[in-house]
Amino acid sequence: DAKTTQPPSMDCAEGRAANLPCNHSTISGNEYVYWYRQIHSQGPQYIIHGLKNNETNEMASLIITEDRKSSTLILPHATLRDTAVYYCIVRDIFSGNTPLVFGKGTRLSVIA
């Protein structure tokens, strides 16, 4: 079962920042937080991951709370192409053989 809780849907105006929350209150010390997204009818796409520090790449920023029980994915300037289902996943870094377990994710709609 997925170890994360996400809101089922969110809207964001084009050009504004999209902030997608994720709760992972039972996360263990060895577990990374991964974010993937799935655009309609395509395979999931990796976005970003982190352990306890905030992370940023060309796609997004990941903010993890100090207690690591929740995180927020930030798309700084959302575009219509960012409309997708976003999945927050926790995975043990020492269990490279365990599969990614997807929850229901958050359906983000970017509105013009």
24 binds another protein (CB under 8 A): no
Single-letter residue type at 24: H
Residue 61: name the closest of 52, 51, 49 by CA.
Answer: 49
29 binds another protein (CB under 8 A): no
Which of residues 14 and 51 has its CB atom nearest to another protein in the complex? Answer: 51
Q: Select the residue interacting with another protein from 29, 42, 53, 58 (CB under 8 A).
A: 42
Q: Select the residue interacting with another protein from 9, 45, 65, 79 (CB under 8 A).
A: 45
Describe the strand order of the beta sheet including 31-38 as a list of residue ranges: 9-13, 106-111, 84-92, 31-38, 45-50
32 binds another protein (CB under 8 A): yes
Which of residues 7 and 103 has its CB atom nearest to another protein in the complex? Answer: 103
99 binds another protein (CB under 8 A): yes
Site residues (vs another protein, CB under 8 A): 32, 34, 41-46, 49, 87, 91, 93, 96-105
